[in-house]
Amino acid sequence: MVAGTPKLNVDSLRAWYGSEEVIHGISFDVRENEIFGIIGPAQSGKTTLLKIMNRTLEFTSGSRMGGLVEMDGEDIYHIKDVYGYRRRVGMVAPLPVGLPLSIYDNVAFAPRSFGMKDGEELDGLVQKCLEQAALWDEVKDRLDSLGTKLSGGQQQRLTIARALSHQPEVLCLDEFSIAIDPVTTMKIEDVLKDLRKEMTIILVTNLVQQARRLADRTMFMLNGEVVEIGDTEPMFSGNAKQPKTNAFVSGDFG
């Protein structure tokens, strides 16, 4: 696929929890090998949107969606192999959730479950994912240690390595830096800049300057609607098309 062409296409998307509509008919696309930032205050629908994209909204009782979400031109809600689809869309949550396993087994768990048995192949993939997550140098001599014994920032990077072990086409990050220190945050941001060469990244963040540093394009959501989508730098330089966008990125509300 040529860089810049749509990887994901969203058309007239709506979502409900019970009778409450939380996303109101939004449309946009996410392009191949871009970092697509999504900003907006709490209760804007950002996390719900990510759950729709990786088909985990259906785990929430009483939830439903309408409209169209396509990956590579295919309606993701018509894909029969749901588990296979979810492997294509990695997800990193706001707080690190480590498996009660060794560092090595945290990363190897998914590949093993998908049938990878060769030890050398597993070793290579584990090392690659830990290197991509900027964690390898810190843990390579203690891969048998429990992942849950790592620091918070290290656990979040282990979470990223675990998401990468699926070898996803799209990586979704939901407030990945909410519970980690600024130094670790910058390490992960450097990782994401490199990863965009291999995959499409969707970054939900409440840190507007983080979106400015990383995103090629940014979408501003408010109350379940899209206020504006555009190239990031103009949007954050006081040249947004919508007054609400300028107000949000300048810190007037949020």
- Predicted local distance difference test score (pLDDT) of residue 134: 87
The 10s digit of each residue's pLDDT in 111-142 is 998 888 888 899 999 999 999 888 999 999 99
At a CB cut-off of 8 Å and minimum separation 6, what does 232 contact? 37, 211, 212, 215, 216, 217, 218
Q: At 61, give phi and psi (nearest 5°).
A: -60, 135
For the domain spanning 6-99+175-249, the CATH number is: 3.40.50.300
What gap in Å lies between CA 114 and CA 245, rounded to an integer?
43
Q: Which two tokens stand for residue 253?
A: 């509300």
Q: At 40, give phi and psi (nearest 5°).
A: 150, 155
The 10s digit of each residue's pLDDT in 24-49 is 999 999 999 999 999 999 899 999 99
Contact indicator for 234, 240 with CB cutoff of 8 Å: yes
pTM of the model: 0.91
What gap in Å lies between CA 88 and CA 254, rounded to an integer?
32
Strand 89-92 versus strand 170-174 pairing type: parallel
Q: Where are the domains of the chain?
A: 6-99+175-249
The 10s digit of each residue's pLDDT in 181-218 is 888 889 889 989 989 999 999 999 988 999 999 999 99
Mean pLDDT of 70-85: 94
